Amino acid sequence: MSKGSRNPRREMSRALSRVANATVAETLETQAELPEQVLYRIGVTGAPGAGKSTLISRLAARRVERGAKVAVVAIDPTSPVSQGSILGDRIRMDAVSDDPNIFIRSIPSRRAHDGLADNTADLLWAMEGHGFDEVIVETVGVGQAEYSVRAIVDTVVLVLLPESGDAVQAMKAGLLEMADIYVVNKADLPGAELMAGDIAATAARQAAPEINGGDGWVPPVLQTSSRDAASFAALDAAIEAHRAWRQNRIDHDAVRRARSRYQVQGLIGRRAEELLETMPDADLDRSPKEIYEALLQQLATAPGEGET
Amino acid sequence: MSLKGKRILIAKPGLDGHDVGAKIIALALRDAGADVIYTGLRKSPDYIARVAVDEDVDAVGLSMLSGSHKEIVADTVQCLEALDAADIKIFVGGTIPTDDHAGLIAAGVCGIYTAEMTIDDVLAAIDKELAA
């Protein structure tokens, strides 16, 4: 345990590192109670190159103007070969890196393949209570990240590019029906208008109760361009509108339970990996059923107990 | 050797715009298992120190070809101290005349890695420094 720092920013930064480096046993020690969740969580997802990082920096600047203290968690992929990573999102957030009201932390995705990092839920948990008002989570740009990010954030923003016909195809198949706000970014490129229209038609159906439990929110479809400051004001306003709507319309207990489910699933998954990594070869030579049963037995022992 | 789990900031302070070396080191560190954050070109020591704190890195690598390494190192050390982050290590690379090495070490730099070294030697030196 490190001693407290006289720099509060460093304090939070160190707290995040402790969570990032923690074993499951150590993580659990900090999660004995349900904390009050104060941070408003905004998730920004979309394909690589869609402009998520730049959009986040513009959005964060808007939100700071309104007096919010904003933390950003930017997730980049971990190399499956070396386990290393190049965390490059913050280069695109240069414009706001100097703002004392914006904190940016780059994190590697580690073992996760769902657009988040395997400890994102724990990191968000650890960010509570450090004086920030909201956190923006940038996912790794992979296909179906919105499912997982949906579980842990309050407002999901999906960033698309004009003429990304594949995305529209995917929407038709029902894959991209999870977002609260759709953004066609780089809208100064040709095709933006058409794309926005296509999405709006699909998005309107999201509000219907028979479609993925439709909650009545009609996701707006916005067009943004880094050349047009007003377009980010519109995005900022759309997030506020969703936030206000959500406050009264969402079943907050259900949301909390869904988050707990995701978080505990992650902890169990990581714990299973810890155990499988140290399992002797002789044990791994057995049948999957036998390995599974042996693993279950070990999982039944609280992590940390009976270990050296 | 493994730098797995280590967080390293590769920074380009000063006015030179040549970051091939910085990028080669960044990729080599990643391949050795480290999580690497790269600042991009022409950053101030103050900026670099603040990023180092937010990202809670184990070390900052300053890549400098401009000749202003003495001033930049002194400023970066000072900025880190001001943020209560004097424990974050600093190593330097680039065009650093041998005559300046002792002065930089005295100023608080933990390693100087120039173009005469192989990548493997640089990685081994960083690994040793961060394991200490």
**DSSP line for chain A:** -PPPPSSHHHHHHHHHHHHHH--HHHHHHT-SSPPP--SEEEEEEE-TTS-HHHHHHHHHHHHHHTT--EEEEEEEPPPTTTS-EEE-GGGGGGGGTT-TTEEEEEEE-TT--SSS-TTHHHHHHHHTTSS-SEEEEEPPS-TTTHHHHHHH-SEEEEEE-TT-HHHHHHHHTTTT---SEEEE-STTSTTHHHHHHHHHHHHHHHTSTTSTT--S----EEE-BTTBHHHHHHHHHHHHHHHHHHHHHS-HHHHHHHHHHHHHHHHHHHHHHHHHHHS-HHHHTS-HHHHHHHHHHHHHSPTTTT--
B54 CB within 8 Å of a chain A CB:
yes
A21–B30 C-beta distance less than 8 A? no
Interface A:B, Cβ pairs < 8 A = 82
DSSP β-ladder status, B111-114 and B89-94: parallel
The one-letter amino acid at B76: T
Q: Are the C-beta atoms of residues A218 and A249 closer than 8 Å to each other?
A: no
CA dist., res. A302 & res. A25, Å (int): 8
**What is the CA A77 to chain-centroid distance, rounded?**
13
Domain chopping of chain B, boundaries: 7-131
**What is the CA A203 to chain-centroid distance, rounded?**
21
Is residue B58 pLDDT above 70, yes or no?
A: yes
Only one residue has tokens 């993925």, namely A212
Predicted local distance difference test score (pLDDT) of residue A77: 83
CA nearest to B43 within chain A:
A94
Which H helix or E strand runs over B9? strand B7-11
B10 CB within 8 Å of a chain A CB:
no
CA dist., res. A134 & res. A39, Å (int): 4
Q: What is the ipTM of this complex?
A: 0.86
- What sign for the dihedral angle of Cα A204, A135, B12, B10? negative
The three-class DSSP label of residue B7 is strand
Q: What is the mean pLDDT of residues B94-118?
A: 93
CA nearest to B83 within chain A:
A7
A17–B35 C-beta distance less than 8 A? no
Residues 100-119 of B with CB under 8 A from A: none
B79 CB within 8 Å of a chain A CB:
no
Q: What is the mean pLDDT of residues B89-118?
A: 93
Predicted local distance difference test score (pLDDT) of residue A144: 60
Q: Are the C-beta atoms of residues A96 and A57 closer than 8 Å to each other?
A: yes
Who's near A18: CB < 8 A, 6+ residues apart?
Answer: A2, A26, A126
CA dist., res. A276 & res. A87, Å (int): 28
CA dist., res. A31 & res. A197, Å (int): 45
Q: What is the mean pLDDT of residues B6-30?
A: 92
Reported pTM:
0.88
If one compares A197 and B26, the residue with the highest pLDDT of the two is: B26
For residue A94, the chain B residues in CB contact (below 8 A) are 40
> Domain spanning B7-131 has what CATH number?
3.40.50.280
Calculate what percentage of chain B has a pLDDT beyond 70.
Answer: 98
Give the minimum alpha-carbon distance from A219 to chain B in angstroms, rounded to a whole number: 34
Give the minimum alpha-carbon distance from A54 to chain B in angstroms, rounded to a whole number: 15
CA dist., res. B132 & res. B64, Å (int): 25
Digits of tens for pLDDT over chain A (308 positions)?
345 677 888 999 999 999 988 889 888 888 888 777 889 999 998 888 889 999 999 999 999 999 999 999 999 888 888 888 888 888 888 778 778 899 999 999 887 777 788 888 899 988 988 889 999 999 887 656 667 888 889 999 999 888 766 556 655 555 467 789 999 999 999 888 888 888 888 777 776 655 544 567 889 999 999 899 999 999 999 999 999 999 888 888 888 898 999 899 989 999 998 899 899 999 999 999 999 999 999 988 866 665 54
The three-class DSSP label of residue B37 is strand
Predicted local distance difference test score (pLDDT) of residue A308: 42
The three-class DSSP label of residue B42 is coil
Please give the span between the terminal C-alpha atoms of chain B, in angstroms, as a whole number. Answer: 13
CA dist., res. A107 & res. A79, Å (int): 13
Give the minimum alpha-carbon distance from A7 to chain B in angstroms, rounded to a whole number: 6
What number of other Cβ atoms are within 10 A of residue B10's Cβ? 28
Q: Which CATH class is domain A8-251?
A: alpha beta
- What sign for the dihedral angle of Cα B12, B14, B15, B16? negative
A103–B56 C-beta distance less than 8 A? no
Q: What is the mean pLDDT of residues B70-74?
A: 95
Chosen for mutation from A16, A83, A119 (greatest number of chain B CBs closer than 10 Å) is: A83
CA dist., res. A72 & res. A137, Å (int): 6
CA dist., res. A155 & res. A191, Å (int): 26
Domain chopping of chain A, boundaries: 8-251, 258-299
B11 CB within 8 Å of a chain A CB:
no
Only one residue has tokens 């990028």, namely B23
Predicted local distance difference test score (pLDDT) of residue A2: 46
